[in-house]
Amino acid sequence: MNMLTRWFTLVGAAVSGYALWKLAAPEVVQRRRSPFLDTAPPDATALVTGASSGIGAAFARRLARYGYHLVLHGRRQERLDALAEDLRQRYGVRARTVNADLSREEGIQHVAALAEELAEAGALDILVNNAGFGTTERFAELPAERHLAMLNVHVTASVCLTRAVLPGMLARRRGGVINVASVAGWFPLPGNVTYSATKRYLVNFSQALQMELWGSGVFVQALCPGFTFSEFHDAPPFRAVGFRRDAVPSVLWQSAEQVVEASLNQLGSGEVICVPGAHNRALVLLSGLLPRSAVQTARRLMGGLGVLG
Protein backbone atom coordinates (compact mmCIF):
# COMPACT_ATOMS: atom_id res chain seq x y z
CA MET A 1 0.00 0.00 0.00
CA ASN A 2 1.56 3.29 -1.01
CA MET A 3 1.34 6.48 1.06
CA LEU A 4 -1.55 7.97 -0.97
CA THR A 5 -3.73 4.82 -0.71
CA ARG A 6 -3.04 4.64 3.03
CA TRP A 7 -3.96 8.29 3.42
CA PHE A 8 -7.25 7.84 1.49
CA THR A 9 -8.13 4.72 3.51
CA LEU A 10 -7.51 6.60 6.75
CA VAL A 11 -9.59 9.62 5.71
CA GLY A 12 -12.37 7.33 4.36
CA ALA A 13 -12.48 5.39 7.64
CA ALA A 14 -12.56 8.62 9.66
CA VAL A 15 -15.39 10.10 7.54
CA SER A 16 -17.48 6.87 7.67
CA GLY A 17 -16.88 6.59 11.40
CA TYR A 18 -18.01 10.17 11.93
CA ALA A 19 -21.12 9.69 9.74
CA LEU A 20 -22.07 6.48 11.62
CA TRP A 21 -21.54 8.20 14.96
CA LYS A 22 -23.70 11.16 13.85
CA LEU A 23 -26.46 8.79 12.73
CA ALA A 24 -26.39 6.76 15.93
CA ALA A 25 -25.49 9.45 18.47
CA PRO A 26 -28.94 10.62 19.64
CA GLU A 27 -30.01 6.98 20.14
CA VAL A 28 -26.93 6.51 22.34
CA VAL A 29 -27.90 9.66 24.24
CA GLN A 30 -31.46 8.31 24.56
CA ARG A 31 -30.26 5.40 26.63
CA ARG A 32 -29.14 7.87 29.27
CA ARG A 33 -31.57 9.89 31.35
CA SER A 34 -32.17 13.51 30.46
CA PRO A 35 -29.27 15.56 31.87
CA PHE A 36 -31.41 18.70 32.00
CA LEU A 37 -34.63 17.27 33.40
CA ASP A 38 -32.86 15.17 36.01
CA THR A 39 -31.55 18.34 37.64
CA ALA A 40 -34.84 20.28 37.50
CA PRO A 41 -35.53 22.23 40.69
CA PRO A 42 -38.76 21.52 42.56
CA ASP A 43 -41.57 23.76 41.34
CA ALA A 44 -40.08 24.05 37.83
CA THR A 45 -42.57 25.22 35.21
CA ALA A 46 -42.64 24.71 31.43
CA LEU A 47 -44.55 26.77 28.88
CA VAL A 48 -45.49 24.90 25.71
CA THR A 49 -46.99 26.71 22.73
CA GLY A 50 -49.33 24.71 20.50
CA ALA A 51 -50.06 22.28 23.33
CA SER A 52 -53.62 21.51 22.21
CA SER A 53 -52.51 18.59 20.00
CA GLY A 54 -49.66 16.58 18.51
CA ILE A 55 -46.06 17.25 19.50
CA GLY A 56 -46.99 20.07 21.91
CA ALA A 57 -49.45 17.87 23.84
CA ALA A 58 -46.81 15.12 23.97
CA PHE A 59 -44.28 17.62 25.40
CA ALA A 60 -46.81 18.63 28.06
CA ARG A 61 -47.50 15.01 29.06
CA ARG A 62 -43.82 14.07 29.19
CA LEU A 63 -42.86 17.14 31.21
CA ALA A 64 -45.74 16.61 33.66
CA ARG A 65 -44.51 13.04 34.16
CA TYR A 66 -41.19 14.58 35.18
CA GLY A 67 -43.06 16.72 37.73
CA TYR A 68 -43.08 19.99 35.78
CA HIS A 69 -45.96 22.42 36.28
CA LEU A 70 -47.37 23.44 32.91
CA VAL A 71 -48.58 26.49 31.06
CA LEU A 72 -50.44 25.16 28.03
CA HIS A 73 -50.90 27.48 25.09
CA GLY A 74 -53.20 27.11 22.08
CA ARG A 75 -56.43 28.42 20.59
CA ARG A 76 -58.73 25.43 21.09
CA GLN A 77 -59.69 26.13 24.71
CA GLU A 78 -61.65 22.89 25.31
CA ARG A 79 -58.64 20.83 24.28
CA LEU A 80 -56.37 22.84 26.58
CA ASP A 81 -58.79 22.55 29.51
CA ALA A 82 -59.13 18.79 29.05
CA LEU A 83 -55.35 18.31 28.88
CA ALA A 84 -54.76 20.55 31.92
CA GLU A 85 -57.31 18.59 33.95
CA ASP A 86 -55.79 15.27 32.87
CA LEU A 87 -52.28 16.40 33.88
CA ARG A 88 -53.50 17.63 37.29
CA GLN A 89 -55.32 14.36 37.98
CA ARG A 90 -52.66 12.04 36.65
CA TYR A 91 -49.45 13.70 37.84
CA GLY A 92 -50.55 16.09 40.59
CA VAL A 93 -48.92 19.07 38.87
CA ARG A 94 -50.29 22.59 38.44
CA ALA A 95 -51.52 23.28 34.90
CA ARG A 96 -52.94 26.51 33.54
CA THR A 97 -53.86 27.55 30.02
CA VAL A 98 -53.27 30.60 27.85
CA ASN A 99 -55.34 31.18 24.74
CA ALA A 100 -53.82 33.34 22.00
CA ASP A 101 -53.52 33.46 18.23
CA LEU A 102 -49.78 33.66 17.53
CA SER A 103 -50.35 34.85 13.97
CA ARG A 104 -51.39 38.19 15.50
CA GLU A 105 -49.17 40.69 17.25
CA GLU A 106 -51.45 41.08 20.27
CA GLY A 107 -51.55 37.28 20.71
CA ILE A 108 -47.74 37.12 20.72
CA GLN A 109 -47.48 40.02 23.18
CA HIS A 110 -50.02 38.38 25.49
CA VAL A 111 -48.06 35.09 25.75
CA ALA A 112 -44.69 36.89 25.86
CA ALA A 113 -45.84 39.01 28.84
CA LEU A 114 -46.90 35.89 30.75
CA ALA A 115 -43.65 34.09 29.85
CA GLU A 116 -41.57 37.07 30.99
CA GLU A 117 -43.45 37.28 34.28
CA LEU A 118 -42.88 33.57 35.00
CA ALA A 119 -39.21 33.76 34.05
CA GLU A 120 -38.62 36.86 36.18
CA ALA A 121 -40.22 35.12 39.13
CA GLY A 122 -37.63 32.35 38.64
CA ALA A 123 -40.30 29.75 37.89
CA LEU A 124 -39.88 29.13 34.16
CA ASP A 125 -37.44 26.29 33.49
CA ILE A 126 -38.39 25.34 29.92
CA LEU A 127 -39.97 27.17 26.99
CA VAL A 128 -41.09 25.08 24.01
CA ASN A 129 -41.78 27.16 20.89
CA ASN A 130 -43.82 24.49 19.16
CA ALA A 131 -46.95 26.08 17.60
CA GLY A 132 -46.96 25.78 13.84
CA PHE A 133 -48.89 24.85 10.72
CA GLY A 134 -48.25 23.83 7.14
CA THR A 135 -49.41 24.89 3.70
CA THR A 136 -49.43 23.08 0.36
CA GLU A 137 -49.95 25.88 -2.18
CA ARG A 138 -47.21 27.29 -4.37
CA PHE A 139 -45.82 30.60 -3.14
CA ALA A 140 -47.66 32.80 -5.67
CA GLU A 141 -50.99 31.02 -5.06
CA LEU A 142 -51.05 31.48 -1.30
CA PRO A 143 -52.38 34.89 -0.12
CA ALA A 144 -49.67 37.10 1.37
CA GLU A 145 -51.57 37.11 4.71
CA ARG A 146 -51.00 33.35 5.08
CA HIS A 147 -47.26 33.79 4.51
CA LEU A 148 -47.23 36.58 7.11
CA ALA A 149 -49.28 34.48 9.52
CA MET A 150 -46.73 31.68 9.20
CA LEU A 151 -43.82 34.06 9.73
CA ASN A 152 -45.56 35.28 12.91
CA VAL A 153 -46.37 31.84 14.33
CA HIS A 154 -43.02 30.21 13.49
CA VAL A 155 -40.55 33.10 13.68
CA THR A 156 -41.89 36.25 15.39
CA ALA A 157 -43.53 34.35 18.25
CA SER A 158 -40.41 32.21 18.85
CA VAL A 159 -38.14 35.29 18.83
CA CYS A 160 -40.42 37.34 21.14
CA LEU A 161 -41.02 34.51 23.61
CA THR A 162 -37.33 33.59 23.74
CA ARG A 163 -36.39 37.25 24.24
CA ALA A 164 -39.00 37.51 27.01
CA VAL A 165 -37.72 34.53 29.02
CA LEU A 166 -33.95 34.88 28.63
CA PRO A 167 -33.25 37.62 31.22
CA GLY A 168 -35.02 35.60 33.92
CA MET A 169 -33.32 32.34 32.88
CA LEU A 170 -29.89 34.02 32.73
CA ALA A 171 -30.40 35.54 36.18
CA ARG A 172 -30.95 32.11 37.71
CA ARG A 173 -28.31 30.53 35.44
CA ARG A 174 -30.65 27.80 34.24
CA GLY A 175 -33.16 27.30 31.46
CA GLY A 176 -34.06 25.40 28.32
CA VAL A 177 -35.52 26.80 25.09
CA ILE A 178 -36.69 24.27 22.51
CA ASN A 179 -37.55 25.63 19.07
CA VAL A 180 -39.51 23.13 17.03
CA ALA A 181 -38.11 23.41 13.50
CA SER A 182 -38.27 20.54 10.99
CA VAL A 183 -36.25 18.35 8.65
CA ALA A 184 -37.88 20.65 6.07
CA GLY A 185 -35.56 23.37 7.39
CA TRP A 186 -32.68 21.60 5.70
CA PHE A 187 -34.26 21.64 2.23
CA PRO A 188 -35.54 24.52 0.11
CA LEU A 189 -38.92 22.99 -0.73
CA PRO A 190 -41.11 24.03 -3.65
CA GLY A 191 -44.73 24.06 -2.44
CA ASN A 192 -43.48 24.77 1.07
CA VAL A 193 -41.41 27.88 0.40
CA THR A 194 -42.21 29.91 3.50
CA TYR A 195 -42.50 26.81 5.68
CA SER A 196 -39.00 25.52 4.89
CA ALA A 197 -37.55 29.05 5.15
CA THR A 198 -39.08 29.71 8.59
CA LYS A 199 -37.88 26.35 9.87
CA ARG A 200 -34.37 27.12 8.56
CA TYR A 201 -34.55 30.41 10.47
CA LEU A 202 -35.23 28.51 13.69
CA VAL A 203 -32.20 26.25 13.10
CA ASN A 204 -29.79 29.17 12.54
CA PHE A 205 -31.40 31.21 15.32
CA SER A 206 -30.95 28.38 17.82
CA GLN A 207 -27.35 27.65 16.82
CA ALA A 208 -26.19 31.27 16.98
CA LEU A 209 -28.09 31.96 20.19
CA GLN A 210 -26.56 28.95 21.91
CA MET A 211 -23.10 30.26 20.94
CA GLU A 212 -23.90 33.50 22.77
CA LEU A 213 -25.17 31.56 25.76
CA TRP A 214 -22.37 29.01 26.27
CA GLY A 215 -21.53 28.72 29.95
CA SER A 216 -24.68 30.59 31.04
CA GLY A 217 -26.61 27.50 32.13
CA VAL A 218 -29.23 28.15 29.44
CA PHE A 219 -29.55 25.55 26.68
CA VAL A 220 -31.14 26.11 23.28
CA GLN A 221 -32.31 23.34 20.99
CA ALA A 222 -33.54 23.26 17.40
CA LEU A 223 -35.75 20.18 17.23
CA CYS A 224 -36.05 18.91 13.65
CA PRO A 225 -38.66 16.16 13.34
CA GLY A 226 -39.54 14.45 10.08
CA PHE A 227 -42.97 12.93 9.40
CA THR A 228 -44.72 12.77 12.76
CA PHE A 229 -48.20 11.51 13.63
CA SER A 230 -50.21 14.53 14.81
CA GLU A 231 -53.03 16.70 13.47
CA PHE A 232 -50.61 18.63 11.24
CA HIS A 233 -51.53 16.70 8.07
CA ASP A 234 -55.30 16.78 8.83
CA ALA A 235 -55.50 20.53 8.19
CA PRO A 236 -57.55 21.81 5.20
CA PRO A 237 -54.54 22.46 2.89
CA PHE A 238 -53.48 18.82 3.14
CA ARG A 239 -57.04 17.54 2.67
CA ALA A 240 -57.32 19.80 -0.41
CA VAL A 241 -54.38 18.04 -2.10
CA GLY A 242 -55.67 14.60 -1.02
CA PHE A 243 -52.73 13.92 1.29
CA ARG A 244 -52.72 10.34 2.55
CA ARG A 245 -50.45 9.23 5.37
CA ASP A 246 -50.15 5.77 3.85
CA ALA A 247 -48.60 7.30 0.71
CA VAL A 248 -45.50 7.91 2.82
CA PRO A 249 -43.58 4.71 3.72
CA SER A 250 -44.40 3.76 7.32
CA VAL A 251 -40.71 3.60 8.29
CA LEU A 252 -40.53 7.37 7.78
CA TRP A 253 -43.19 8.10 10.43
CA GLN A 254 -42.56 8.65 14.12
CA SER A 255 -44.92 9.18 17.01
CA ALA A 256 -45.04 12.56 18.74
CA GLU A 257 -43.85 10.75 21.89
CA GLN A 258 -40.69 9.47 20.12
CA VAL A 259 -39.91 13.00 18.94
CA VAL A 260 -40.37 14.46 22.42
CA GLU A 261 -38.33 11.70 24.07
CA ALA A 262 -35.39 12.39 21.75
CA SER A 263 -35.66 16.14 22.37
CA LEU A 264 -35.82 16.04 26.16
CA ASN A 265 -33.10 13.39 26.44
CA GLN A 266 -30.78 15.58 24.42
CA LEU A 267 -31.57 18.88 26.15
CA GLY A 268 -28.58 20.00 28.20
CA SER A 269 -26.17 17.67 26.40
CA GLY A 270 -24.54 20.56 24.51
CA GLU A 271 -25.90 19.46 21.09
CA VAL A 272 -28.11 22.21 19.62
CA ILE A 273 -29.63 20.31 16.71
CA CYS A 274 -31.85 17.38 17.59
CA VAL A 275 -33.02 15.24 14.67
CA PRO A 276 -35.11 12.33 15.96
CA GLY A 277 -34.80 9.06 13.97
CA ALA A 278 -31.82 7.69 12.03
CA HIS A 279 -33.68 8.11 8.69
CA ASN A 280 -34.15 11.83 9.38
CA ARG A 281 -30.54 12.24 10.46
CA ALA A 282 -29.43 10.56 7.21
CA LEU A 283 -31.58 13.06 5.26
CA VAL A 284 -30.09 16.01 7.14
CA LEU A 285 -26.54 14.72 6.63
CA LEU A 286 -27.21 14.37 2.91
CA SER A 287 -29.12 17.66 2.60
CA GLY A 288 -26.17 19.63 1.26
CA LEU A 289 -25.21 16.89 -1.15
CA LEU A 290 -28.53 15.93 -2.76
CA PRO A 291 -29.06 17.46 -6.20
CA ARG A 292 -32.28 19.47 -6.67
CA SER A 293 -33.64 16.82 -9.06
CA ALA A 294 -33.38 14.16 -6.32
CA VAL A 295 -35.37 16.31 -3.90
CA GLN A 296 -38.05 16.91 -6.51
CA THR A 297 -38.26 13.21 -7.40
CA ALA A 298 -38.60 12.37 -3.70
CA ARG A 299 -41.41 14.88 -3.39
CA ARG A 300 -43.25 13.36 -6.38
CA LEU A 301 -42.87 9.87 -4.88
CA MET A 302 -44.28 11.13 -1.61
CA GLY A 303 -47.56 11.92 -3.27
CA GLY A 304 -47.54 15.53 -4.31
CA LEU A 305 -47.01 18.95 -2.86
CA GLY A 306 -46.72 19.86 0.75
CA VAL A 307 -46.40 16.51 2.48
CA LEU A 308 -43.20 17.19 4.40
CA GLY A 309 -44.01 18.66 7.80
Ligand X SMILES: NC(=O)c1ccc[n+]([C@@H]2O[C@H](COP(=O)([O-])OP(=O)(O)OC[C@H]3O[C@@H](n4cnc5c(N)ncnc54)[C@H](OP(=O)(O)O)[C@@H]3O)[C@@H](O)[C@H]2O)c1
Q: Which residues bind ligand X (CB under 6 A)?
A: 50-56, 74-76, 101-103, 130-133, 153, 180, 182, 225, 227-228, 230-232, 309
The nearer residue to ligand X, 74 or 176, going by C-beta atoms, is 74
**Is 18 annotated in the active site?**
no
The nearer residue to ligand X, 13 or 301, going by C-beta atoms, is 301
Catalytic residue from among 68, 91, 195, 201: 195
Minimum Å distance from CB 5 to ligand X?
43
Minimum Å distance from CB 298 to ligand X?
15
Minimum Å distance from CB 83 to ligand X?
10
The nearer residue to ligand X, 170 or 193, going by C-beta atoms, is 193
3-state secondary structure the chain: CCHHHHHHHHHHHHHHHHHHHHHHHHHHHHHCCCCCHHHCCCCCEEEECCCCCHHHHHHHHHHHHCCCEEEEEECCHHHHHHHHHHHHHHHCCCEEEEECCCCCHHHHHHHHHHHHHHHHCCCEEEEEECCCCCCCCCHHHCCHHHHHHHHHHHHHHHHHHHHHHHHHHHHCCCEEEEEECCHHHHCCCCCCHHHHHHHHHHHHHHHHHHHHHCCCCEEEEEECCCCEECCHHHCHHHHHCCCCHHHCCHHHCEEHHHHHHHHHHHCCCCCCEECCCHHHHHHHHHCCCCCHHHHHHHHHHCCCCCCCC
The nearer residue to ligand X, 56 or 168, going by C-beta atoms, is 56
The HSE-up count of residue 7 (CA atoms within 13 Å, CB side) is 3
The nearer residue to ligand X, 225 or 268, going by C-beta atoms, is 225
The nearer residue to ligand X, 45 or 192, going by C-beta atoms, is 192
* Nearest of 262, 268, 231, 228 to residue 248 by alpha carbon: 228
Minimum Å distance from CB 213 to ligand X?
22
Write out the catalytic residue numbers: 195
